[in-house]
Structure formats: structure tokens, C-alpha cells
A = this chain, B = another copy of it.
Amino acid sequence: MSYSQSYTGYNDNRPSAPPAPDPGTGHPYPSYYGQQGQGQSYSSTSYGSYGYPSFPPGTHPDVIRSFQMVDRDRSGFIDENELQQALSSGYQRFSLRTIRLLMFLFKNLHDSLRIGPQEFAALWGCLGQWRAIFERFDRDQSGRIDAMELKDALYSLGYAVPDSVLSVLVSRYDDGSGCKVELTFDSFVECGMIMKGLTEKFKEKDPRYTGSVTFTYDTFMSMIIPFLV
């Protein structure tokens, strides 16, 4: 499975949404690695009429409109700032850090700094599903979820996050005030993309799901550094 393919397929961006974890039994190992489907690959961009890259069949007009609104030079590709602007119209304003993670995880093989219609449509669809899951766990509709809700929400996305990992993940949002850490949707997407990205990279090296991988120093460094966007 090529690196790019693992993020541009539709099914791959659709959470497997297992039932909420049973506290008694813990998490089943297979879902440990997140959703399994790899889906159809869009590792290369197809071009429609007039050479403008085309959206996948059935793409919602709002998605196409949001993309074309920011693609002012009609190049068929948008950069991180344009993506931030496009998502602001459909969802909300995401931090540039989250935007860069989204770009990194949804980019195609040929262009790491811009995304085309197909990547944009996949990304938009993924955010829609994540938004629904976020709202399901934001029980008091406060627009924020706490650590345990984050754990359950990530589990619904197919990631059974060990408590040791969860605490490290959540500590990044601790402002030191002593108040309970709560995450906005932006932070939830950031956490989810980190879990998705690192898990997929680990999974690539562990195709048989043994749960452990041997890395050389070069492989380790080359794999991690792209996440430090």
C-alpha cells in the first residue's frame, strides 16, 4: 500500500465507527489500528473538460463551490491558506496547524503543498463524519469535549487510544490553569489526524498487526519528521 493511497481513498476516510467501548472488556485489538478499509485510490488527479481537475462523481455542489471560490487562479489546486479559507465557509476556521495536518494526510503523490478537487472532496467528507462524531460525544452541546469523551470519539473513528497515549495527547491542550482540559472541534480534528496519520504509518510497517515494529534510525526519522509540521 503506497503512502499516498492510504489517505486519498474514500472508504479510508470513512470511520469504521465500531460501537462505543465496553469499559468491562476494553478495546478489541483489530480496531487498535483504526479503520481497516483502504478504499479506492485517487493517487493521481484526473482532468475534466478544459483541463480543470474534476471532482469525483456525485460531489455535493457546496463542496465544489467552496473549492472554486478560493481557487481564484483556476489552477485546480489550492494551498494551505486557501484550504483554511474554503473550510471556513463550510465548517469553521481551523488553526493553520490543523490545516497543515489535513494537507499532509490528504495530499496526493504529486504535490505536497497543494491539494486538488479529489483530495478536497475526500477531506470535506472526512470532516463531516468527524463533526458528527464530535457532536455525538459533546453531550452538553458546549462545543467542547473532555479527555474521556475524546477517547470515546476517537474509538468511534476506529482508534482505541491507550490511556498512556491519551494523557500525552490531551496534555498538549492543558493551559496550566488547573481546569479540566476540554477540546474544541479544531483540536479534536488535530488529535484525530495525528492518531490517524501515525497509526497508518505504523500499520504500513506492521501489515500483519503484530503490534510491534522494528525501525532503523533513518526510517524512524524520515517517518516522524513530516508530522512535525
Q: Using a CB–CB distance below 8 Å, which chain A residues touch chain B?
A: 32-33, 79, 112-114, 161-162, 164-165, 168-169, 171-172, 174, 176, 194-195, 198-199, 202, 206, 211-218, 220-222, 224-229
A109 to chain B, nearest CB (A): 14
Interface centre among A165, A171, A213, A228 (most CB of B within 10 A): A228
Whether A215 contacts B218 by the Cβ 8 Å rule is no
A192 to chain B, nearest CB (A): 13
Whether A218 contacts B165 by the Cβ 8 Å rule is yes
- Please name all residues of chain B whose beta carbon is closer than 8 Å to the beta carbon of A161 when the two chains form the complex: 221
Whether A172 contacts B113 by the Cβ 8 Å rule is no
A228 to chain B, nearest CB (A): 6
A220-B213 CB under 8 A given contacts A79-B176, A113-B174, A176-B113 = yes
A78 to chain B, nearest CB (A): 12
Whether B213 contacts A165 by the Cβ 8 Å rule is no
A1 to B211, CA, bound (A): 26
Whether A202 contacts B220 by the Cβ 8 Å rule is yes
Closest residue of chain B to A215, judged by CB?
B213
A216 to B33, CA, bound (A): 12
A139 to chain B, nearest CB (A): 26
- Please name all residues of chain B whose beta carbon is closer than 8 Å to the beta carbon of A169 when the two chains form the complex: 225
Among B164, B214, B221, point to the contact of A218 (Cβ < 8 A). Answer: B164
Among B79, B194, B217, B228, point to the contact of A172 (Cβ < 8 A). Answer: B228
A-B contacts, 5 listed (Cβ < 8 Å): A33-B217, A161-B221, A162-B218, A212-B217, A228-B228
